[in-house]
Amino acid sequence: MEVLKDSAPEKNNVEFNALVDSIRDVALNIISISSNMPKEASFAIKNIDNPRGMINFICSNLDLADADRQRLLEAPGLLARARRLLEILIREQQLVELKNKIQSKVKQDIDQQQKEYFLQQQIRTIQEELGDGNDEQEIEQMRQQAKKKKWNKQTAALFEKELAKLERLNPSIAEYSVQFNYLQLMLELPWNKYTKDNLDLKRARTHLDQDHFGLDEVKERILEHLAVIKLKGDLKSPILCLYGPPGVGKTSLGKSVADSLGRKFGRISLGGLHDEAEIRGHRRTYIGAMPGRIIQTIKRCESSNPVIILDEVDKIGVGNHGDPSSALLEVLDPEQNTTFHDNYLDTEYDLSKVLFIATANNVGNINPALRDRMEMINIPGYIMEEKVEIGMRHLLDKQREAHGVPADKLSISPEIMEKIISEYTREAGVRTLDKMLAKVARSRAKSIGMEEEFDSELSAEQVEKILGMPKFLKDTYNVGGILGVVTGLAWTEVGGDILYIESVLSPGKGVLNLTGNLGDVMKESATIALEWVKAHYKELNIDPTLFEKFDINIHVPEGAIPKDGPSAGITMMTSIVSTYTQRKVKERIAMTGETTLRGRVMPVGGIKEKILAAKRAGITELIMSEDNRKDIMEIKEEYIKGLTFNYVKSNMEVLDLALEKTF
């Protein structure tokens, strides 16, 4: 065995002297900031003058891992050991400082919580002495209110569990208010609380007739629902969807239904909705969480069987937060909505007794799965006679009352009402008519306020003075007898309308030009119509050389308005044949239908809206597919009075009816 000796550096070694001073300073600092080091060690270090003795003393007494001790022992000389020792001491110093910092922060947090708890206890004691703000009393009041609720065992157990959680929370923290609001919602919801339906069917019919003129199909459906409830005693509420153009009374009908049933009424506007949470609610873990609109409306109605209008169900959007129309599938399915789950409420709620009435303008924009869950009831619009009755019975009284005009100061005869409707409005509903009558009422209110002389009954001259010159004239629709111009019928979101198809030949090479802001479907219809005409030039007595020597241009006026759909197929075909054969179109005749390359006339939709548009335009004869005959049979006789219907199967039949004989 050989004993190794440390090789000491020279006495005047600057690096070694600096290392010794640094080791002493760091070691003394560690002893001063560490709670585990005895303070006597600092005296020993200060009193050791020999550098070798001080270094070895620190190495032997420092609490180090075995690996660090081995490194110090293996150091080749005192200088190397001093370097390694200083490195270890600096690391230990940083660890002690970090440990002290963590302990100090934790102690401060605990002290702050203790301080807040102590202050909160003092506040609670003061409030109890003053007799207000007693949280325990509020919790006990909630418990007593819960005993009066008509909820099932599962819901009662959930409430008691959540109430116990509230008792354990400190009122000063944010979670307390979240939990409190949740329990308040549970108490405010009308669990199994229903209003009694008024099952007097005659009274219900009278009430519906007083509020709305027409709308017979909807009224009959409501009366059928009442009759079944009266006979059976219970019925899962159907989901009705009223669709049609704006201004026909879809939304206001819901209020009348609620009044006739004796139920509470609620309305939810879905236009532009693009967040699924608006229907299902937000989870309570999110900041600002709220229940969905369905549960909020039930809460406002204070009844579990209200009538709820779901307005503009066709205008629901799809955003980054889910598809609201898909969330409505559970709400509007009578087989599923008995256990509707709201994310905020986090339990099941029975919606089966709610009478939902959805409204829409365009059925095509509704989610197909959602549309399948609803009973679709079409409200196409009003004929002239119905608009006059609505104006006289409802709108005039409404505007007189809204503007403070006495009934004896403003009266309108049916003839003047018809003039306002026909010359100043062009719509399926009565919204524009309501605006026109409001303008008349404002003018009369001004005359009364300025004490001017006037006749109480409105005259035609006064109408033009107040509303200006007529905006729409029936004469502008009369285009019969013109070569290549055919009147077609179209469906739009605001009701039916008429459109004109014009065609003309010009020298060229047989090119087909289409103008008028047409969609792809209408362009295809024009191409099919022209190809059919070319294929049957012999039967139509058309010189085939015309197809090569002349271009044909087909135009649909009002090019700023986009137009699309298959309904103009036979109209374009008739216009092309009229242009090539120089046969004029008969007076006051219009048509709608799709054509095929074989010349078959196909059925189209929106028949009732198109018929109303034809009547407004003064058209007396209509041509449509034989397959559309069933649609006409469903329309009331007064709607089609004065119209002649021609049902066809082929293009040749259309031409025989629409074009004058060859001259």
Going by pLDDT thresholds of 50, 70 and 90, the confidence category of residue 237 is low
- Residues 282-337 pLDDT 10s: 888 787 788 889 999 999 999 988 999 999 888 887 766 677 888 888 888 877 77
Long-range contacts from 314-320, C-beta under 8 angstroms, 24+ separation? 314/243, 314/360, 314/361, 314/362, 314/363, 314/364, 314/365, 314/366, 315/270, 315/271, 315/272, 315/361, 315/365, 316/270, 316/271, 316/273, 316/274, 316/367, 317/272, 317/273, 317/274, 318/274, 319/274, 319/275
Q: Are 192 and 304 in contact (CB under 8 A)?
A: yes
CATH 1.10.8.60 fits 384-472, yes or no: yes
Domain extents for the chain? 14-101, 147-188, 201-378, 384-472, 475-658
Q: Is 411 a catalytic residue?
A: no
- Percent above pLDDT 70 for the chain: 90
- Residues 525-578 pLDDT 10s: 999 999 999 999 999 999 999 999 999 999 988 765 777 888 889 999 999 999
- Residues 238-263 pLDDT 10s: 788 888 888 888 888 888 888 888 88
Nearest to 575 by CA among 460, 654, 478: 654
Separation between Cα atoms, residue 447 and residue 461, nearest integer Å: 16
Class of domain 14-101 (CATH, top level): mainly alpha
Catalytic residue among 256, 567, 578, 625: 567
- Residues 73-112 pLDDT 10s: 777 777 788 788 788 888 888 888 888 888 777 666 666 7
Mean pLDDT of 225-237: 76
Can you say whether the dihedral through the CA atoms of 152, 279, 218, 418 is positive or negative?
positive
CA distances from 484 to 275, 472, 474, 520 (A): 51, 24, 21, 22
Going by pLDDT thresholds of 50, 70 and 90, the confidence category of residue 494 is low
pLDDT of residue 551: 93
Taking the complete model, does pTM exceed 0.85, yes or no? no
Domain covering 475-658 in this structure, CATH number: 3.30.230.10
Going by pLDDT thresholds of 50, 70 and 90, the confidence category of residue 663 is very low
pLDDT of residue 475: 43
C-alpha 341: how far from chain center = 19
Q: Is 610 a catalytic residue?
A: yes
Long-range contacts from 328-334, C-beta under 8 angstroms, 24+ separation? 328/279, 328/367, 328/370, 329/367, 329/369, 329/370, 329/373, 331/279, 331/294, 331/356, 332/239, 332/356, 332/358, 332/370, 332/373, 332/374, 333/239, 333/373, 334/236, 334/237, 334/238, 334/239
Catalytic residue among 575, 610, 615, 625: 610
Going by pLDDT thresholds of 50, 70 and 90, the confidence category of residue 493 is low
CATH 3.40.50.300 fits 201-378, yes or no: yes
Question: Looking at per-residue confidence, does 620 or 2 come out higher?
Answer: 620
